[in-house]
Amino acid sequence: KAGVTQTPRYLIKTRGQQVTLSCSPISGHRSVSWYQQTPGQGLQFLFEYFSETQRNKGNFPGRFSGRQFSNSRSEMNVSTLELGDSALYLCASSLDGRGETQYFGPGTRLLVL
């Protein structure tokens, strides 16, 4: 069974632009969570989608948004990029309705110049 896939793997943007990242969960998984990983702040939870609805949200500004499609694929959008948004963005999927055991993708490394 294929793992979590994320596209693109690398991305370079400039301040003020917006970006959309994509995540395809493991087949059959209905929950997708997004995390931001930086050297300074570590791994931080962004939000979770389950059955196309945002069920959980971390402490990030409204510039960070996401959505989930009927096939469980998810996208994350960051508008008005700031230098501090440079990070590895990780997507994790889980099978069970509790969202307990999460399987991570390889991440998208975003560099904002």
Partner 1 sequence: QQQVKQSPQSLIVQKGGISIINCAYENTAFDYFPWYQQFPGKGPALLIAIRPDVSEKKEGRFTISFNKSAKQFSLHIMDSQPGDSATYFCAASRRRDTGRRALTFGSGTRLQVQP
What contacts 24, CB < 8 A, 6 or more positions away? 4, 5, 6, 73
Query: Which of 18, 101 has the CB closer to partner 1?
Result: 101
Residue ranges that bind partner 1, judged by CB under 8 A: 4, 31, 33, 35, 42-45, 48, 50, 55-56, 58, 90, 92, 98-107
Question: How is residue 90 annotated by DSSP?
Answer: E
Query: Which of 42, 62 has the CB closer to partner 1?
Result: 42
Q: How far is the CB of 77 from partner 1 (least distance, A)?
A: 19
CA distance readout (Å), 99 to 5, 69, 71, 93, 96: 18, 17, 17, 8, 6
Q: How far is the CB of 30 from partner 1 (least distance, A)?
A: 12
Query: Which of 84, 106 has the CB closer to partner 1?
Result: 106
Please classify residue 92 by burial: count the beta carbons closer than 10 Å to its beta carbon, then call 0-12 exposed, 13-18 middle and 19+ buried.
buried
Query: Which of 18, 43 has the CB closer to partner 1?
Result: 43
Closest Cα to residue 71, out of 22, 106, 108?
22
Q: How far is the CB of 1 from partner 1 (least distance, A)?
A: 15
Q: How far is the CB of 55 from partner 1 (least distance, A)?
A: 4
